[in-house]
Amino acid sequence: MAKKIVLDVDPGIVDAMVLPMALFDPEVDVLAITSVGGNVPAHQTARNLQAIVEFLDPPRLPRLGMGAPPDEASPVDVRHVHGIDGLCGTPLPVAELRSRHPAEKVICDAVRSAPEQVSIIALGPLTNIARALQRDPEIELLTRHIHILGGTVEGPGNITAAADFNFYADPKAARQVIQSRMTKTLVPLDVTNTVMLTLGDLDLFPDEGTRLGSLLRAMLPPAFRAYRQAYGLEGIHIHDLVAYLAALHPEWILTKVMACDVETGEGLTRGMTVFDRRPLPQWRKNIDVVVRIHEREILRQIIKELNEVAEKIGE
The pLDDT tens digits of the residues spanning 264-297 come to 998 999 999 999 999 999 999 999 999 999 999 9
Mean pLDDT, the chain, integer: 92
Q: 108: pLDDT confidence band, cut at 50, 70 and 90?
A: very high
Please give the pLDDT value at position 169: 94
What are the distances in angstroms from CA 172 to CA 68, 128, 207, 269, 274? 15, 12, 43, 13, 14
Q: 209: pLDDT confidence band, cut at 50, 70 and 90?
A: confident
Domain that holds residue 239: 3-313
Per-residue pLDDT tens for 76-96?
Answer: 766 666 667 777 777 787 776
8-state DSSP, 234: S
Q: 165: pLDDT confidence band, cut at 50, 70 and 90?
A: very high
- 310 contacts 206 by C-beta, under 8 angstroms: yes
N-term to C-term CA, the chain: 30
Catalytic residue among 147, 239, 249, 294: 239
Active site includes 239?
A: yes
pLDDT average, residue stretch 119-132: 98
pLDDT average, residue stretch 142-163: 95
Q: 23: pLDDT confidence band, cut at 50, 70 and 90?
A: very high
Per-residue pLDDT tens for 178-197?
Answer: 999 999 999 999 999 999 99
Per-residue pLDDT tens for 248-262?
Answer: 999 999 999 999 999
Please give the pLDDT value at position 207: 87
Cα dihedral sign for 140, 146, 151, 155? positive
Question: Which residue did the predictor score with more confidence, 116 or 207?
Answer: 116
Residues 6+ apart with CB under 8 A from 135: 104, 105, 108
Please give the pLDDT value at position 6: 98
- Beta-bridge partners for 287: 258
What is the distance, to the nearest Å, from the Cα of residue 27 to the centroid of all Cα atoms in its chain?
19
Per-residue pLDDT tens for 46-69?
Answer: 999 999 999 999 999 999 999 988
Please give the pLDDT value at position 8: 98
Residues 6+ apart with CB under 8 A from 168: 74, 76, 157, 159, 160, 270, 271
Please give the pLDDT value at position 271: 96
Indicate the SS3 state at residue 75: coil
Largest CA distance in the chain: 60
Please give the pLDDT value at position 9: 97
Question: Which residue did the predictor score with more confidence, 30 or 209?
Answer: 30
Please give the pLDDT value at position 98: 66
Indicate the SS3 state at residue 162: coil
- 122 contacts 129 by C-beta, under 8 angstroms: yes
Phi, psi of 119 (to 5 degrees): -105, 145
- Work out how many domains the chain is built from and give that number: 1
Please give the pLDDT value at position 80: 65
Please give the pLDDT value at position 1: 80
How far apart are alpha carbons 126 and 38 in whole angstroms?
Answer: 10
Q: What is the CATH number of the domain that holds 178?
A: 3.90.245.10
Percent of the chain scored above 90 by pLDDT?
75
Please give the pLDDT value at position 202: 87
